Structure 1
Amino acid sequence: MSQLTLVEQVKCLIDMHAKGKLGGEKMPEDVIVPIVPKEERLNILTLGMALNYQRNSYTLWEAISKLYKDHSARWVFYPEQVLNCEMDELQSILVHYRVALQPNRHPEIWKRVAAGIFHSSSKGDVEGLLESTNYDILELKSVVQKQRKSEFPYLSGPKIFNYWVYVLESYHEIAWKSRELITIAPDTHILKASIKLGVCEEAVLKGSGVDRESVSQSWKVALEKSGIAPIDIHTPLWLWSRADFPSITY
């Protein structure tokens, strides 16, 4: 490993990512960009992210993009319509397109999240949810992780919550208030990259909630006063790990 300081290495990785030097890999959610208009992405990114747990993200978002192209099935991305549909109808579509891999649990989560969005929104959709929380991370955390936590399985967990709000920012250009509260989302690739950079010990690969929280806090401390927000290094670290850690260069 280079003798550069941690912050210098991070800045190099950000630059390498910007120049396409981390394998040229696209992120899983990129697949929806050419087919989903910006104004429709909030619902799709939110409901899709609700099932982005312990599975191949690329396969999930490919499945979501195929579902979206089916105009007769696209209603599953509208919370009010999901709320009022029959479960077997929702189940049939999500399973057919392999958005749902668990035929009972995944459609049930989809419907619960749709209900959570609808009931906590001024408009019945994700845009209304964000407006009702004033685009403030602290207020959104309160709704999703406390007030209505039972209606947001997976999304209310710190790992997916932080990556979800980062994805909404990336693909819908949201300007969050309290943006500094978005911590890094420590999935397996982030854990491996963090170990490689010496931010944490290899023991965190156990991947418990405590381990992930420890990694998030370590990055928060490491980047303090650097001018870099922890969530901004998620994609460079993730791609660096997937590319099997190419040498860090200027």
Structure 2
Amino acid sequence: MINESFFANIKLLIKMHTDGLLGGKLMPEDVLIDVVSKEDLLDVLTLGMALNYQRNSYKLWESVVQAYQDNDTKWIFNLGAVAESNLDDLRESLLLHRVGLQPNRHPEIWQRVAQGIAKSSPNQNVLGLIKAVDFDIALLKEIMQNIRKPEFPYLSGPKIFNYWLYVLESYAGVRWKSRNLITIAPDTHILKATVKLGLCSSEVLEGTVENRQSVANAWEKALVGSELSPIDVHTPLWLWSRAGFPPLKEGASI
């Protein structure tokens, strides 16, 4: 049973985030703002997210911007072109600005995700995929996490998939149906913050797939009946952990 003090802490955490007391004035994806065109944004965010694991997110998105602004490498964000590209050409362009770091694995992931989306969309882009499922998260999850999961390496995983949905909503203005289906994206910072709040035991810090799913389930259960969806607390929790867990109180600072 979640008690009132838990919700009081959540409200304080959200307010501290809103007031800018947890840092995070510049989030990793913010570097895309006013650089990537509106028509390209969904595709750029999606392909970048496909490599956003166990890596410094700020450096990844800085590399993405450099590649996008380079006329010789901008093509790697065109899903149709990537889907039909020569893997050696794709490798060269991905590695040039360090969008990709692993010369074999990263180009393969990039191309496989592009091919999976391209064949799902009449326009060979992310917007076409989203329209094909009528902005319904449940249908999108069924396709990407079950029916055709191998076509979406890493992007289909619970951590990246849910944060991807949130990023498309936050930066590209996508309006999802059943928004409550976006669960929290349980990365290392989320695991630590969840334990710090007493919602889960320290066992989840082992970070196994089961641990991460347990944390996601715990947040979903904890927020039932509240005005919050699990993903609404993701960024405050992430920044709180990253800041070293400053005290939860109004006026606190890192």
Q: TM-score, normalised by structure 1?
A: 0.96
| RMSD (Å), alpha carbons | 1.2
**For each residue in 1:103-133, what CA deviation from the matched residue of structure 2 results, as whole angstroms up to 9, or x when unmatched?**
0000010000000010111211000000001
CA displacement at 1:26 relative to structure 2: 2.0
Q: Which residue of 1 aligns with 2:33?
A: 33
Q: What amino acid does structure 2 have at the position aligned with 1:95?
A: L
CA displacement at 1:181 relative to structure 2: 0.8
Please give the residue correspondences for 1:81-96 in structure 2 after superposition, counting only pairs within 5 Å. Answer: 81-96=81-96
Distance 1:125 1:179 in 2: 22
Please give the residue correspondences for 1:1-80 in structure 2 after superposition, counting only pairs within 5 Å. Answer: 5-80=5-80
Q: Which moved more, 1:208-217 or 1:10-19?
A: 10-19
Q: Which moved more, 1:34-43 or 1:73-82?
A: 34-43
Q: What amino acid does structure 1 have at the position aligned with 2:225?
A: K
CA displacement at 1:39 relative to structure 2: 2.5
Q: Which residue of 1 aligns with 2:192?
A: 192
Question: Are 2:201 and 1:201 aligned?
Answer: yes
**For each residue in 1:8-58, what CA deviation from the matched residue of structure 2 results, as whole angstroms up to 9, or x when unmatched?**
111111111111110244221111113112231100010000011111111
Aligned sequence identity (%): 56
Q: How many residues align?
A: 248
Distance 1:246 1:4 in 2: 20
Q: Which residue of 2 aligns with 1:127?
A: 127
**For each residue in 1:65-115, what CA deviation from the matched residue of structure 2 results, as whole angstroms up to 9, or x when unmatched?**
111111221111011101121111110011111111110000010000000
Distance 2:147 2:80 in 1: 20
Q: What amino acid does structure 1 have at the position aligned with 2:27?
A: M
Distance 2:8 2:134 in 1: 35
Structure 1 contact 63–97 (Cα < 8 Å) conserved: yes
Structure 1 contact 190–241 (Cα < 8 Å) conserved: yes
Q: Which residue of 1 aligns with 2:143?
A: 143
Q: What amino acid does structure 2 have at the position aligned with 1:135?
A: F
For structure 1, the residue ranges without an aligned partner over 5 or more in a row are none
Distance 2:242 2:34 in 1: 24
Distance 1:63 1:20 in 2: 26
Distance 1:211 1:198 in 2: 15
Distance 1:121 1:8 in 2: 44
- SS of 1:176's equivalent in the other structure is coil
Q: What amino acid does structure 1 have at the position aligned with 2:64?
A: I
Distance 1:61 1:25 in 2: 16
**For each residue in 1:216-243, what CA deviation from the matched residue of structure 2 results, as whole angstroms up to 9, or x when unmatched?**
1111111111211100110111011111
CA displacement at 1:202 relative to structure 2: 1.0
Structure 1 contact 7–226 (Cα < 8 Å) conserved: no
Structure 1 contact 16–22 (Cα < 8 Å) conserved: yes
Distance 1:207 1:149 in 2: 22
Question: Are 2:228 and 1:231 aligned?
Answer: no
Q: What amino acid does structure 1 have at the position aligned with 2:107?
A: P
